[in-house]
Chain A
Amino acid sequence: MLAACGLRSANELFDQVPAAARIDHALNIAPGLSEYEIADTFRALAAKNAVGYASFLGAGVYSHYRPVVVDTIVSRGEFLTSYTPYQSEISQGTLTTIFEFQTMICQLTGMDVANASMYDGSTAVPETAMMAVRVTKRHRILVARSVHPEYRDVLRTYAKNQGLPVDEFGYDDESGKVDLGDLDAKLTRETACVIIQSPNFFGIVEDTNAIAERAHAHGALLVYTFAEAVSLGLLEPPRAADIVAGELQSYAISPSYGGPFAGIMAAKEQFIRQLPGRLVGETKDTNGNRAFCLTLATREQHIRREKATSNICTNQALIALMATVFMELYGKQGLRELATQNLAKSRYLASKLKPRFNGPSFNEFVAIAPGADEINRRLLERKIIGGLPLARFYPELAGTMLLCATEMTKRADMDTLAEVFNS
């Protein structure tokens, strides 16, 4: 091959790289390992993490059972090792699954259109804010303090550089729902959107319609976000919202120390051209057969460049496929039954502890927990990872922790946790 290129040595391939730019040593990285050694290395690393603990952590990342079929399907090379389906004639497999994904996200959220995925819930939130700014031509963002603290952090990072002030409104000290009075006080003619999360970070279900009325009365959009997608199987869909964004980690996506997950973004029909990210549409091929292709691409960076709706290119397709398989396996009945089990488990746990808020909770809740860190330390001795002490994100909620129970939480572990809590 070198000869075909008219070269004598492989080093000549790099003659175009100026000497000054060339590395003057071999990379200081050990020689390659065999497959067995690699597996062994990672097994040893994994063993330094928690293994064999029961866990009550939620807070945006949930422990749900992953049906084995999910990995069977996403491990197929045709899905795993293909690129973005730009060439529709040889990508109908991926395109069809995305079309089903978009459809199910619409069915679950009550929206008309959904895109093919965003990086995760936290990055979908600032995208909704930028979208609301484009739609309303206003530039203030109003976000509930009960939205996931890390989502709000990411929102601020994005918003700051575009000159979009982000204001926060509070939560009601008793119910844990948003404080409607504070919302009223902060809504102005400049508010592009109001962003809420439901169930919110405290696990409480918000009164979406009441919030929507207020936002709309001021000409602002309502953005509904969720971190616990299992709730969609049971909760009234946020039809009053204009844009929905959320995180699908609960749909057969392993916690994986925080990623990769899959974010969604959905909206009312009239906003379709302001939606960021990829969209799959239905059409026909030259034989008249149903076919799918990426569509409305003029919204995207490769065509509209600096005027694009977003800079997103690579998304989370394979992870969204996990969620797609999960949704189809569970189906209409299953998503409801799963959500109902989560509710029952978490209510059982709550009944043994002292909830901090009295609003309706889904599968997590804030428990009063004086000396939260000490409780967690004692739980670890019993091989239990307790809840998330909230002082870290909400200083005023020191002495509480956020606890989650799912279909995978065993009654015996909940009883042990309650015993440690109450002793």
Chain B
Amino acid sequence: MIPSKVRRHLVQNEHLIFEQSSPGKKGYQLPALDVPEVDSVAALGAGNVRAAIEDFPEVSEVEVIRHFTRLSTWNYAIDLGMYPLGSCTMKYNPRINEAVARIEGLAWAHPYQPESLSQGAMEVTERLEQALLEITGLDAITLQPAAGAHGELTGILLVRAFLEAQGSPRKRILTPDSAHGTNPATAGIAGYEVRNIRSNDQGMIDLEELARAVDSDVAALMVTNPNTLGVFEENIVKAADILHAKGAMVYMDGANMNALVGIARPGDFGIDVMHLNLHKTFSTPHGGGGPGGGPVAVRKHLEPFLPVPRLRRLNDALTWDYDRPQSIGKVKAFYGNFGVLVRALAYIYAHGGPGLRNATVDAVLNANYLRHRLRPYFDLPYDRPNMHEVVFSDDRQAAKGVRTGDMAKRLIDYGFHPYTVSFPLIVHGALMIEPTETESKRELDQFVEAMIAIASEVDDEPQTVLTAPHMTRTTKVDEVTAARKPIVRWRPA
């Protein structure tokens, strides 16, 4: 019944490293000291020197290799197959990106080494800035933010600084009810109150509701476009006009920019400020949760407020400019997640302008294909052409007592990572599916087969779905006990 993609095989068991430790084992070598030894107690004072680190591991190099290799086999990964997490954009992470990021002159560049000896690193930054400005159609950009949420904070602080310079930072940020959690959380950290804007029955910004909400206390609207339903906000230009008329701005969460590269530019549809997720649209690896890159691009009027330092070209040499009196200051030490920037630029080079557009077309085609193939089996609350992702609801299956989270777990048994569960919040019981351009028709068809099989299991043997996964080495995990009695570190028995 479980189709062709998976079958069982042996997986090694593995204890925590602390449980394998034995005194005196080591996995490192240091060179012989070429200077006189120093007695640490004499040098630092007895009160400053610690006793041995209690219960710290002591293992050999091969034990370390086996430990992590065994653990790694307990993970699913893009390298194993389709990873259709909506909003997360799990596309293939090209290995050339990894190789170039490790070239010595880039990987070992110290942020404080002289500018004359950093021109290569600065040029990487400059070239990426130029490419991203071309892609977004905006006027200026900072590459410093470390991830999407950090970019959001930077962007909202830019809005705040601009408004403050005009007299008042204002009080409120508007977010649609379909927004990602980082949007309201960011607004809070930037010192704003948040007002939720109800979407219309199409799942889009409701222009009337928006017009009612926008007054002189509103600093900005944070909008994701395409929105979290994977649909282009067709009234984005009118929405921007409503905000601009009241002196407010439009912040675009660019997490879904992979649907627009080469097709539409936020700078052309009224956006004042936005972030990009290099770890989504530009293929830098998610690495089990990070790192990322969250460049923020702005229209000209926000440029004076961008974080320091700004890259400038002076007489053929690049320099960091700290003399920016209106800047919001620093959002992160040094110049951003440079190693991530290198990877993103390599991705842009590999694709080139035409290739970037093709990637967008393929991603959107893949998502529409899934919508057409799956709509006979799952409820589609907002039934309309989508961009890079499609959101179904568990309406039909819930009637049988099976929810989106249950089907997600069952999908694991079929050899796929689950889709995004229960987001966006405006869809009750959401199944949010994003294939990306990475997937071939063959992989997509296997996924469709798996989803159809699950839909029929819900009809015929719901218990199988409710108790999934069955094929994994770890069966369903008790998250309730984990939260009631948190054990967040190992301790010796």
Interface residues in B467-493 by Cβ distance below 8 A to A read 467, 469, 472-479, 481-483, 486-490
A38–B180 Cα distance when bound, in Å, is: 35
B482 touches A295 (CB 8 A): yes
Contact B105 A51 (CB under 8 A): yes
Among A253-282, those with CB < 8 Å from B are 254-260, 272, 278-282
How many Å lie between the Cα of A143 and that of B264 in the bound state?
Answer: 46
Contact across chains for A286 and B478 when beta carbons are under 8 A apart: yes
Cβ-neighbour of A256 out of B65, B339, B348 (below 8 A): B339
Instruction: Give the CA-CA distance A306 to B156 in the complex, in Å.
Output: 14
Contact check, B335 vs A254: say whether CB atoms are below 8 A apart.
Answer: no
Say if the beta carbon of A171 comes within 8 Å of chain B: no
User: Is there an interface contact between B356 and A331, defined as CB atoms closer than 8 Å?
Assistant: no
Cα A303 to Cα B180 with chains together (Å): 10
B398 interfacial contact with A, CB 8 Å: no
Q: Is B246 an interface residue (CB 8 A)?
A: no
A89 touches B109 (CB 8 A): no
| Contact of A332 with B288 at beta-carbon distance under 8 Å, contacts A23-B264, A102-B488, A123-B150 already known | no
Chain B residues near A205: list those with CB within 8 A.
Answer: 44-45, 48
* A397 vs chain B, min Cβ distance (A): 15
Minimum CB–CB distance from A132 to chain B (whole Å) comes to 15
- B49 near A92 with CB under 8 A, answer no
Asked if A71 is at the interface of the complex by the 8 Å CB criterion, the answer is: yes
A76-111 contacts to B, CB under 8 A, are 76-85, 87-94, 96-100, 102-104, 106-108
Q: Which of B21, B287, B477 contacts A318 (CB 8 A)?
A: B287
Whether A259 contacts B152 by the Cβ 8 Å rule is no
B338 proximity list for chain A (CB < 8 A) = 256-260
* Residues in B whose Cβ lies below 8 Å from that of A163: 191
C-alpha gap A343/B152 in the complex (Å): 41
User: A156 on the interface (CB 8 Å rule)?
Assistant: yes
Report the minimum CB–CB distance from B219 to chain A (whole Å).
Answer: 11
CB proximity of A328 to chain B, nearest CB, Å: 5
A154–B56 alpha-carbon span in the complex (Å) = 33
Q: Which residues of B contact A16 (CB under 8 A)?
A: 231-232, 234, 384-385, 387
Measured CA separation A332–B421 after assembly (Å): 42
Enumerate chain B residues within 8 angstroms of A330, measured Cβ to Cβ.
26-28
Q: Are B289 and A328 in contact (CB under 8 A)?
A: no
Instruction: Tell me whether B482 and A306 are in contact (CB under 8 A).
Output: no
* Known contacts A16-B384, A283-B478, A313-B148; A337 and B30 CB within 8 A of each other: yes
CB-CB < 8 A to B477: which residues of A?
88-89, 283-285, 291-293
**From B145, which residue of chain A is reached at the shortest CB distance?**
A119
Indicate if A418 sits at the interface (CB-CB under 8 A): no
> Does B319 interact with chain A (Cβ within 8 Å)?
no
Say yes or no: A48 contacts B105, CB within 8 Å: yes
Look across to chain A and name the residue whose beta carbon is closest to the beta carbon of B286.
Answer: A83
Q: Restricting to B55-91, which residues have a CB under 8 Å from any CB of A?
A: 55-59, 61, 64-65, 67-69, 71-80, 83, 85, 88, 90
Contact B48 A235 (CB under 8 A): yes
User: Given B28, B107, B160, B352, which contacts A29 in the complex, CB threshold below 8 Å?
Assistant: B352
Which of chain B's residues have a CB closer than 8 A to the CB of A92? Answer: 71, 74-75, 473-474
* Most B CB within 10 A of own CB, among A102, A130, A257, A317: A257
Q: Is A148 an interface residue (CB 8 A)?
A: yes
B428 to A: closest C-beta gap in Å: 17
Within 8 Å of chain A (Cβ to Cβ): is B357? yes
Q: Does A51 contact B185, Cβ atoms closer than 8 Å?
A: no
A2 to B366, CA, bound (A): 9
Q: Is the CB of A88 within 8 A of B474?
A: yes
Residues of B within 8 A of A30 (CB): 352-353
Q: Is the CB of B16 within 8 A of A96?
A: yes
B405, chain A: closest CB distance, angstroms: 10
In contact, B472 and A89 (Cβ under 8 angstroms): yes
Contact indicator A1/B108 (Cβ below 8 Å): no
Among residues of B, the one whose C-beta sits closest to the C-beta of A2 is B365
Stretch touching chain B among A57-65, A178-186, A215-223: A57-65
B58 touching A332, Cβ below 8 Å: yes
Q: How far is the CB of A88 from chain B (nearest CB, A)?
A: 4
Given contacts A331-B59, A344-B38, contact A257 B106 (CB under 8 A): yes
Interface members, chain B 37-59 (any A CB < 8 Å): 37-38, 40, 43-45, 47-50, 52-59
Let me know if A76 and B185 touch, CB within 8 A: no
Task: Select which of A46, A60, A278 is within 8 A of B289 by beta carbon.
Answer: A278
Query: Are A332 and B57 touching (Cβ within 8 A)?
Result: yes
* Bound-state Cα–Cα, A385 to B348, Å: 33
Query: CB-CB < 8 A to B478: which residues of A?
Result: 283-286, 291
Q: In this complex, what residue of B is CB-closest to A332?
A: B56
Interface: B140 (CB within 8 A): no
Please measure, in the bound complex, the distance between the C-alpha atom of A67 and the C-alpha atom of B30, giving whole angstroms. Answer: 10
Contact of B98 among A75, A117, A334 (CB under 8 A): A75
Within 8 Å of chain A (Cβ to Cβ): is B417?
yes
In the complex, the answer to whether B48 meets A307 with C-beta atoms within 8 Å is: no
Is A314 in contact with B71, judged by CB distance below 8 angstroms?
no
- Give which listed residue, B88, B108, B123, B355, contacts A83 with CB less than 8 A: B88
Which residues from 26 to 41 on chain A have a C-beta closer than 8 Å to any C-beta of chain B? 26-33, 35, 37-39, 41
In the complex where A13-B368, A71-B102, A284-B481 touch, is A113 in contact with B286 (Cβ < 8 A)?
Answer: no
Q: Which 7 A-B pairs have the closest CB atoms?
A: A318-B287, A258-B334, A46-B105, A77-B79, A317-B289, A48-B120, A32-B352
Q: With A45-B123, A257-B110 given, name 8 new contacts (CB 8 A).
A: A18-B234, A20-B268, A83-B88, A102-B488, A259-B335, A286-B476, A305-B181, A317-B287
6 residue pairs of the A-B complex, CB under 8 angstroms, read A17-B260, A61-B110, A80-B98, A162-B191, A209-B47, A341-B33
